[in-house]
A and B are shown apart, each in its own frame.
Chain A
Amino acid sequence: MNVAQQVTRILAEQALLEPGDVTPDATLADLGIDSLGLVESIFAIEEAFDISVPFNANDPAETDFDISSVAAIISAVGDLVKAQG
């Protein structure tokens, strides 16, 4: 499973959807993932890729980790995995 598939699977599980129903342009709000769902998804992403996601729930906009859409999250996770080497 590549990064896109794995992130999609994690978000789908959180949103109680099939992975096929999670489209790249969807936002977290579209998927019905609230703030608690987001931190739980980030935890699952960190566990799955063994990375540390720079995300601060106090001010999500301030962090480098782009959560504006599914595609943005996949891209950000991809960068973190690459950076880790």
Chain B
Amino acid sequence: MAQRVVITGAGTINALGHNVPDTLAAMAEGRCGIGPLDIRDVDRLTVKIGGQVRDYHEETHFNRQQIALYDRFTQFTLLAAAQAMGQSGLTFAGQLADRSGVILGNSGGGLNTQDENYRAVYEEGKNRVHPFIIPKLMNNAAVSHVAMQYNLRGPSFTVSTACASSNHAMGQAFLMIRSGMATAMVTGGSESMLCFGGVKAWEGLRVMSKDACRPFSATRNGMVQGEGAGVFVFEERDHAMARGAEILAEVVGFAMTSDAADIVMPSKQGAARAIAGALRDGGLNRDEIGYINAHGTGTAANDKTESAAVADVFGAHADNLMISSTKSMHGHLIGGTGAVELLACIMALRDGIIAPTIGYEEPDPECALDVVPNVAREAKVDAVLSNAFAFGGLNAVIALRKA
């Protein structure tokens, strides 16, 4: 028998805030977390802006030995996980520990650690490196540290599908609980690519904006990188109800597709199949969807393709629903982006506040949807979608319902 799946905990750290309430307040205000990058050798970069986590000091949260093992992406993950676990009120022992795991999305792994290590051996000519470079930079480090910290001994792994990583991760967590494989899953994703080598690599692709992320606006000129983490506790609904847990939202559907077409250009058909698949999987009618958190990167190609896919799937209802890209505020967290964006979905369902697409200047006839320009809106919505369409043509869409 299929189990219903609910969200009983949420945590985050990102450019908008170091926790969920601050992040949601910033989204509701339409505040921009993107600003000048404060990283080494920024003067040699062409792109000098990003959605960086500000006022962050690792020594405040971790001791010297932990810092030796935790890359920035692991640190962000552990801080977000602590908030999510605290809110859920779950502790893991015995059978519950064996039936609960961690699945997180991530794309760059410990890129800061790698960058610093390469500097040491190439630039400084050092022949000896710190012994923990490997356990610090591996993409599964965050998953393993969360598992160790909370005694999660069930299915655990890292999903790496570029910009769709955390949606794919949360989809796996959802499917495992629904199928009866797991009782609770810690899931979401994180990313920390804002270092010289990381941003320089992105510059090469020439899809980055030098001034702002303006999704769906005719004046958009590219994406802006962010960093941070979003972590959730997904739990079997009966288990959560039995212990009287607060339920933030219900996860009802998930679908993933592959464009099988191009390594960077998105496909309308691939996106549309994922959106339609999530509706079908969740048993949702098109007209039940009130809000979509868009992938909305602010690139010319994504935003028009995504708009066309939404129009195709929803038909006349496409003009009634709201769709916004919160990347305009927190930047694109790549492997962690779907996790932070799920917070906007929860805010829509729980609080009736639709996060805006900020930086919107001028309508684009190829993106003719209600993108909630610049100012948040109050609206009652019962079901929402969160889109993620990755480089490599890998698409993952999640459907949530009001609890």
Size bin of chain B's contact surface: under 10
B57 lies within 8 A of chain A by Cβ: no
Bound-state Cα–Cα, A81 to B130, Å:
20
The total of Cβ contacts below 8 Å across the A-B interface reads 15
Secondary structure at the B interface, as helix, strand, loop or mixed, is loop
Residues from chain A with Cβ under 8 Å of B128 in the complex: 43, 46-47, 52
- Give the contacts of B99-145 with A (CB-CB under 8 A): 128, 130-132
B263 lies within 8 A of chain A by Cβ: no
Residues from chain B with Cβ under 8 Å of A46 in the complex: 128
Bound-state Cα–Cα, A39 to B132, Å:
9
Most B-side CB within 10 Å, residue of A40, A47, A52: A40
Beta-carbon nearest neighbor of A14 in chain B: B65
Residues from chain A with Cβ under 8 Å of B132 in the complex: 36, 40
Bound-state Cα–Cα, A52 to B128, Å:
9
B265 lies within 8 A of chain A by Cβ: no
Bound-state Cα–Cα, A47 to B128, Å:
8
Proximity string of chain A (38-49) to chain B, C-beta cutoff 8 Å, 1 when within and 0 when not: 011011001100
Bound-state Cα–Cα, A32 to B234, Å:
37
B264 lies within 8 A of chain A by Cβ: no
Proximity string of chain A (41-68) to chain B, C-beta cutoff 8 Å, 1 when within and 0 when not: 0110011000010000000000000000
B68 lies within 8 A of chain A by Cβ: yes
How near does chain A come to B27, taking the closest CB pair, in angstroms? 40
Most A-side CB within 10 Å, residue of B69, B128, B130, B131: B131
Residues from chain A with Cβ under 8 Å of B131 in the complex: 36, 39-40, 42-43
How near does chain A come to B277, taking the closest CB pair, in angstroms? 44
- Give the contacts of B61-78 with A (CB-CB under 8 A): 68-69
Bound-state Cα–Cα, A40 to B69, Å:
11
Bound-state Cα–Cα, A39 to B68, Å:
12
Residues from chain A with Cβ under 8 Å of B69 in the complex: 36
Beta-carbon nearest neighbor of B129 in chain A: A43
Beta-carbon nearest neighbor of B68 in chain A: A40
Bound-state Cα–Cα, A40 to B130, Å:
7
Most B-side CB within 10 Å, residue of A36, A42, A46, A52: A36
Beta-carbon nearest neighbor of A57 in chain B: B131
Bound-state Cα–Cα, A40 to B132, Å:
8
- Name 15 A/B residue pairs within 8 A (Cβ), A-sorted: A36-B69, A36-B131, A36-B132, A39-B131, A40-B68, A40-B130, A40-B131, A40-B132, A42-B131, A43-B128, A43-B130, A43-B131, A46-B128, A47-B128, A52-B128
